[in-house]
Amino acid sequence: MFLLRKPILALSGNTAVRDALTSTSLTASVVDRFIAGETTADAVAAVSRLRPDGLQVSLDHLGEDTTDRATADATVEAYLQLIEALAAAGQVAGAELSVKLSAVGQALIASPDLPAGGNAYALAGARRITDAAYAAGARVNLDMEDHTTVDQTLEVLFELRRAHPDVGVAIQAMLLRTPKDLAELTGPGSRVRLVKGAYHEPAEVAYTDPAQIDLAYVRAMKLLMHGKGYPMIASHDPRLVAIADRLAADAGRSPDRWEHQMLYGIRPDEQRRLVAAGKQVRVYVPYGSDWYGYFTRRLAERPANLLFFLRSLTSK
């Protein structure tokens, strides 16, 4: 399956395939498995279903690689609307919002009427979301995208942390630079979501062998568990889930000082098993209509996801 990862991930940027798939309803039931729905109300309904089972949430308004300001602004507005809707439903406290900076303007090109460039635009949008989230009792975590965006994303993170010191960030174990980045991210209160990394990266900057990525993940977990921050172990991998538990115990971390994270629709029974075992678990809940990039990354990760998708195509 790892051989298929590269071509599938390449499809995530293919607009012809995206248009063909998203213009038909054939994918709807498949997409539903991984995505909470298209609207704010769908997202709030998913939160209301997950929370009674003891699961925490991180909500992602789907979208990425935005190249125009109107779409970036609409994404910011969507998050503000979500915060209000969560508050109205009594679900905002303790919720987290996951933000992709490329969705709020990071990829915009500097121009005479945008002299500071896309990252400054993304910072301004992320700041509006973050201020509103913290005012309402929620938190924010920055997703991490491909390796070319890491410096800019960390720059935005440190700016946001001036006002809200526990804004979190995703860090990708597969990147060779990660141990150096973690050295700056394990201070008191620093929330770090550790992931394997979902993008196709060149060997110059990343481990490409799955076994090496797993080893790098364990090394990064050790740094986080022994650090002073708040580790968020985002993986469905049973071995890594078990190792996280052992490392937390070795580091003397009680279950309230770190958490597991998993994606909506992936290993839901395991999510509930961990809660029953006294662990904190946060589910990443994506919603919105721009699901294509997110969906193709999930297909690339696991043969069963791809088979499930192919079977649904042939049964139509």
Q: Return all residues near 307 (Cβ < 8 A) that are at least 6 apart.
A: none
Report DSSP letters for 10-48, one per residue. HHTT-HHHHHHHHTSSTTHHHHHHH---SSHHHHHHHHH
If binding is defined by CB under 6 A, does position 236 make contact with ligand FAD? Answer: yes
Applying CB under 6 A, which part among 23-31, 116-124, 233-241, 251-259 lies near ligand FAD? 233-241
The verdict on whether 256 is a catalytic residue reads no
Q: Work out which of 237, 255, 257, 272 binds ligand FAD, going by CB under 6 A.
A: 237
Alpha-carbon distance 287 to 62, whole Å?
Answer: 6
Beta strands in the chain (DSSP E): 56-61, 96-99, 139-142, 168-172, 191-195, 230-234, 259-263, 281-287
Query: What is the number of alpha carbons within 13 Å of residue 216 lying toward its C-beta?
Result: 23
Tell me the window of 37-45, 87-95, 117-125, 235-243 that interacts with ligand FAD (CB under 6 A).
Answer: 235-243
**Is 282 assigned a catalytic role?**
no
Shortest reach from residue 200's CB to ligand FAD, in Å = 11
Q: Is there a contact between 201 and 178 (Cβ–Cβ < 8 Å)?
A: no
Select from 5-13, 36-44, 78-86, 232-240 the region that touches ligand FAD (CB under 6 A).
232-240
With the C-alpha atoms ordered 306, 308, 309, 313, is the resulting torsion angle positive or negative? positive
Site map 175..194 versus ligand FAD, x via CB under 6 A: ------------------x-
Spatial CA neighbour of 244 closest among 234, 8, 135:
234
The reply to whether 143 sits near ligand FAD by the rule CB under 6 A is yes
Residue 172 assigned ligand-binding role: yes
SS3 91: coil
Assess 231 for contact with ligand FAD (CB under 6 A). Answer: no
Per CB under 6 A, 170 contacts ligand FAD: yes
Q: Segment contacting ligand FAD (CB under 6 A): 2-10, 14-22, 231-239, 246-254?
A: 231-239
Nearer to ligand FAD, 25 or 173 (CB): 173
- Token readout for 292 is 């294509």
Residues engaged in binding ligand FAD (CB under 6 A): 143-144, 170, 172, 193, 195-199, 234-238, 261-263, 266-267, 284, 301-302
Annotated binding site: 100, 144, 172, 196-198, 235-236, 297-298
Annotated binding site for substrate: 100, 297-298
Annotated binding site for FAD: 144, 172, 196-198, 235-236
